[in-house]
Structure 1
């Protein structure tokens, strides 16, 4: 598989750090017990976003008068939705054709107040815009005095956090089945002097898992069964990946998988790193990505 230097470096960085990405969120919070509340009426367009966090393409947003077919409401029927997991990632195997999963995924995000910022059905990737999540700290966690002050002043502790999601849908040999990957990317507001800026923040694995559960239910899974399936997927297998240096000087990743499995890992790594995928060629084993030339925020961060 041919790959460019930028992609190799990105992918290696992902694999080095990914062992903790699918850390067990079930130990911290009971799956299914978290209320996910996004502020759908708000927007963060007016805020300062670092250049590396390129603003989403606003063309092709999901519009209000979109035609809704009877297929959209098949979510009321119980479907077979399985949870798959290996050493680093979780994904869904559903008995629904990719075209239907595509439509349902858009409706799923719309139900939380998201707009679709970018979509490419040809390669099976759709991405939402950033939306602020309710970060209000529960009163019981603040203590009596701070909770009383918070209510009196009508303020809340904690700076705003905004999330966006990417869904990647993979077709299989069975046209009535699909693999579905959901990835969360978050930014948080920070105060620097008199400025309030947005910068990348660590992934909230608990939230990502909760949204995966919500997606399972939206696709037709029974909620109780979906919770059990996620809990059962806790057992993970190891998947060693080695790095060798080829004769041309580029690093090469060696997977202990077949071509299809390695292809799946590559797609997952690009999802995790929020890489803008323009196109892909499954037969040739190539991804075509957009590389951000403006170093912007990250170069300033590294130089301080």
Structure 2
């Protein structure tokens, strides 16, 4: 039997298996919603457009830098396995660890200093199958690479029969990334925020309705994924699985105060929120994390978030912003713009949020109005 005949038989088997698979509607069926099993998308990751490479290397402590996405997954997994085997700083339990709530928002409060918690949380993300593209102990901020939740692919008998050799044929068409921010609320107490961003692959069609290509577009934030990882982190820090799930599953309170965009003139604008400074500061931080902002630094005493922002329109690519993130195209020349997002208390139960330029002057431009609009949309969700 020659090579051509072998290839024909091979593809014939694949076609038969595919037909059976589709008849059982099992190829992309979803398993239980509370199951997460991520695989990093580092193999197809382009540059992180929301943060120039120099910032990652200049701010991060070299002890905590993770290898970049050019490494193979087998090399990465081996490194993580070795790290887990040799790690001696796993916490056996933390008194005073709890889930805090404010309306529909959840975050973790731990009675430990942030520098002590940071390496623990970094290990946590690595153990869950993620690469880190931002790793900044000095600011308490880390961000994962885009990754696929492989638990959404059913482990049916056909996939088991084909085996791991063809595992790449199965794809959920979805990617997630997570930001973690550590806030020091009081001495020896740390607030930990986890936020998720999602992307989904969609078809672009021609005049006949046929799919001619696919693009990556944003998909809505999923609070349940955030809650799942908060519960897992609590387990990682020493709480039992039952206790962690019970805390996360407790009923949420009423919705957070409504944020209102106030516009004066053509471009001058600010956000009004019916909340004191602490609540407004927290909601602003979560809104920034869930948007295409990168928090470089922050000064809670002065109410300032120092951020970078990449406007998707500046990319000049009709294929979509997420396509750029997953491509191998070199966009290193693209620089995100710097802004200051300022939270000011106007009374005990009211605050205002402004956008300023990097120089601290009011950003009375169309760009400033656009950024405030994005933040308002996140706050009212």
Shorter-chain TM-score above 0.5: yes
Q: Give the whole-Å Cα distance in 2 for the aligned partners of 1:182 and 1:294.
A: 24
The alignment status of 1:213 with 2:231, answered yes or no, reads yes
TM-superposed CA distance for 1:37, in Å, is: 0.7
Q: Give the whole-Å Cα distance in 2 for the aligned partners of 1:248 and 1:196.
A: 37
TM-superposed CA distance for 1:105, in Å, is: 0.9
Equivalent runs, 1:89-168 vs 2, <5 Å = 89-134=105-150, 136-138=152-154, 159-168=172-181
Aligned to 2:307: 289
TM-superposed CA distance for 1:69, in Å, is: 6.9
TM-superposed CA distance for 1:280, in Å, is: 2.0
Aligned to 1:35: 35
Which fold has the larger relative contact order, with Cα–Cα distance below 8 Å and residues 6 or more apart in sequence? Answer: 1
SS in 2 for 1:35: coil
Aligned to 1:184: 196
Aligned to 2:281: 263
* CA 236–216 in structure 1, closer or farther in 2 if over 3 Å, else same: farther
1:66-107 Cα offsets, whole Å, 9 max, x none, are: 89774x312x22433211122231111111211122111101
Q: 1:73 aligns with which of 90, 109, 113?
A: 90
* CA 128–101 in structure 1, closer or farther in 2 if over 3 Å, else same: same
Q: Give the whole-Å Cα distance in 2 for the aligned partners of 1:37 and 1:274.
A: 25
* CA 39–56 in structure 1, closer or farther in 2 if over 3 Å, else same: farther
User: Structure 2, unaligned stretches of length 5 or more?
Assistant: 1-30, 68-78, 205-210, 321-381
Give RMSD over aligned pairs.
3.6
- 8 Å contact from structure 1 (residues 135, 161) kept in 2: no
Structure ID, larger Rg: 2
Q: Give the whole-Å Cα distance in 2 for the aligned partners of 1:288 and 1:137.
A: 39
* CA 223–78 in structure 1, closer or farther in 2 if over 3 Å, else same: farther
- 8 Å contact from structure 2 (residues 50, 308) kept in 1: no
* CA 280–100 in structure 1, closer or farther in 2 if over 3 Å, else same: same
Q: Give the whole-Å Cα distance in 2 for the aligned partners of 1:199 and 1:237.
A: 28
1:239-285 Cα offsets, whole Å, 9 max, x none, are: 23344345795222223322222211111110111411222222221
Higher helix share: 2
Q: TM-score, normalised by structure 2?
A: 0.57
Q: TM-score, normalised by structure 1?
A: 0.70
Q: Give the whole-Å Cα distance in 1 for the aligned partners of 2:118 and 2:110.
A: 12
SS in 2 for 1:119: strand
TM-superposed CA distance for 1:162, in Å, is: 1.9
User: Structure 1, unaligned stretches of length 5 or more?
Assistant: 1-28, 140-146
Q: Give the whole-Å Cα distance in 1 for the aligned partners of 2:115 and 2:258.
A: 34
- 8 Å contact from structure 2 (residues 50, 293) kept in 1: no
1:108-129 Cα offsets, whole Å, 9 max, x none, are: 0010121211123333211111
* CA 148–97 in structure 1, closer or farther in 2 if over 3 Å, else same: closer
The count of corresponding residues between Structure 1 and Structure 2 is: 258
